[in-house]
Amino acid sequence: MTGRLGCNKKTTKTLIHVSIYTVVFIAFCAVLQAYAGSQGRVLVENYDCFEIRYPAAVYGKNAVEKLLSTFSVQQWDWTIGYGANPLMDLTGLAELNDPFYLFYMFFDEVTPSLYVFLTFLRVYVAGLAFLYFCKVRGFRYLPSLAACLVYVFSTFTVLYTVKHPVFA
C-alpha cells in the first residue's frame, strides 16, 4: 500500500521519524550554539581541534588535490609535524581514513565554520545510526528518540565533540 509520497507506509513512517529527529537535533544545536555564543565561546574549542586537526584537514585537502592533479605522492614534508611522511601523519590524525573528510573536497577552501559543521554532522549521523539500531532491535520510536537525544547531547558526547570531533 502506498501513501502520498509514493512510498509504502513503513518508508513514510521512517521518513517522518528521521525528519522529527532532524528538526529536534537542529533545535538542540541552535540552543547549544546560542548558549556558547552568549558566553563568548565557540562549540569547537582550541584544544587539538584548531591547533592540530584543522591544519591537518587543510594540508590533507591540498595534498589530495595535488595527488589527483599530478598523480604523485609526496614522500617527505617539513611543513607538517616535525617533518615526516605526510600520509602517515594524516592517517594518524584520522583525516585520511575519516569518511567525513571527503566533504572538504567539495569546497574551495577549508574554513573553521565548515570544520564545525562537519563536527555536528558526525554527531548527527551517530544519532541516525543509533535510531537505526533501535529500529532493527524492534524498540518503539519515542523511547528510541529520547535515548538517542540523551546520547547525542550527553555531557560526554558534547565535551568530546568540543575537544576531539573525530571521536564524536
Distance (Å, rounded) from C-alpha 147 to C-alpha 141?
10
CB 152, CB 123: distance < 8 Å: yes
Q: What is the pLDDT of residue 124?
A: 93
- Residue 101: CA count within 13 A, CB half-sphere: 23
Phi, psi angle pair for 75, to nearest 5°: -85, -30
Helices of type H across 40-152: 48, 54-70, 86-92, 112-137, 141-152
Mean pLDDT value across the chain: 79
Give the pLDDT confidence of 20-37 residue by residue, as tens digits: 999 999 998 888 888 878
Give the pLDDT confidence of 56-68 residue by residue, as tens digits: 777 777 777 887 8
| Long-range contacts from 21-30, C-beta under 8 angstroms, 24+ separation | 21/127, 21/128, 21/131, 21/145, 21/148, 22/124, 24/145, 24/149, 25/124, 25/127, 25/149, 25/152, 28/149, 28/152, 28/153, 29/120
Q: What is the pLDDT of residue 17?
A: 87
CB 56, CB 93: distance < 8 Å: yes
| Long-range contacts from 65-69, C-beta under 8 angstroms, 24+ separation | 65/105
Q: What is the pLDDT of residue 143?
A: 92
Q: What is the pLDDT of residue 128?
A: 94
